[in-house]
């Protein structure tokens, strides 16, 4: 008697109450349930204690896995919210970037602490910048490319997020840029080359329903590469 259970999208919780209870304390009973959806995990080279795996989890934010034998007990401070992707730089594996919705930004100490980008790109046609995919150049921690989950255009920065420049690929059918047209969609369409300097790759699917029979493909569909930090992009493969 007096035991209450609550289920919501981040787990299962239990409490015990009586008629005289004035303050309720909830106990998390989740153990590896799918409600804690891990969207991405990175493991920068070098190993503990400085370079350890970092995971991005729906609703919870970022977790730093200092030990592989136990679960972290708390997310990293101020990073709560959905996190779809992280990345690290070859030139400095302790430099990380993240699209955590509450703190899109970077870490310079292997994920222990995080700073928000000094600027967030202005919304385009009502589409703001959060979530989505992010990548940092192999040779330059100031050079970052971001494709948000809102289907806004790709942007790049050469000053660690102090300012951003928009890149518009050729027009696509309808209103979609061809990156994301479903907010919160988890997909991997952006990566930095781990060897070549200031080189990035991106996959555009035109109107995002290009697998539907009879769908019209736009000019931007395909695999794209930039060799100058995201400023200019060349189509390497035309999608079909």
Q: Distance between terminal CA atoms of the chain? A: 62
- Asked if residues 51 and 65 have their Cβ atoms less than 8 Å apart, the reply is no
Name residue, tokens 């004035």: 22
54's CB contacts (< 8 A; 6+ apart) are: 41, 42, 44, 62, 63, 64, 65, 86, 96, 110, 111
Q: Please choose, from the candidates 214, 211, 235, 215, the residue with its C-alpha nearest in 3D space to the C-alpha of residue 225.
A: 235
Predicted pLDDT of residue 23: 87
pLDDT at 209: 47
pLDDT, tens digit only, all 240 positions of the chain: 889 988 665 667 899 999 888 888 999 887 665 556 778 889 999 888 888 899 888 777 888 988 888 878 777 766 667 777 899 999 999 999 998 888 899 999 999 999 999 999 887 767 778 788 999 999 999 999 999 888 788 999 999 999 999 998 876 555 567 787 666 667 789 999 999 999 999 998 765 444 444 556 677 888 999 999 999 999 998 865
Do 30 and 84 meet the contact criterion of CB atoms below 8 Å apart? no
Distance, in Å, from the CA atom of 102 to the CA atom of 107, rounded to the nearest integer, reads: 14
């Amino acid at each position: 008697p007096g035991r209450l259970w609550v289920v919501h999208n981040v787990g299962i919780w239990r409490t015990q109450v009586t008629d005289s209870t004035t303050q309720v304390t909830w106990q998390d009973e989740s153990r590896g349930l799918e409600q804690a959806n891990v969207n991405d995990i990175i493991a920068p080279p070098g190993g503990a204690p400085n370079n350890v795996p970092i995971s991005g989890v729906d609703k919870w934010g970022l977790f730093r896995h200092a030990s592989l034998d136990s679960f972290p007990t708390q997310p990293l401070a101020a990073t709560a919210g959905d996190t779809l992707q992280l990345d690290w730089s070859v030139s400095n594996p302790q430099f990380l970037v993240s699209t955590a919705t509450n703190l899109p930004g970077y870490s310079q100490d292997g994920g222990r602490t995080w700073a928000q980008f000094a600027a967030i790109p202005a919304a385009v046609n009502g589409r703001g910048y959060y979530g989505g995919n992010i990548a940092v150049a192999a040779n330059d921690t100031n050079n970052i490319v971001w494709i948000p989950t809102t289907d806004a255009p790709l942007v790049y920065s050469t000053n660690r997020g102090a300012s951003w420049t928009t890149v518009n690929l050729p027009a696509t059918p309808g209103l979609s840029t061809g990156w994301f047209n479903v907010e919160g969609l988890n997909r991997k369409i952006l990566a930095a080359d781990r060897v070549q300097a200031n080189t990035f790759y991106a996959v555009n699917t035109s109107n995002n329903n290009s697998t539907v029979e009879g769908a019209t493909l736009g000019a931007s569909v395909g695999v794209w590469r930039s060799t100058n930090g995201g400023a200019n992009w060349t189509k390497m493969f035309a999608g079909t």
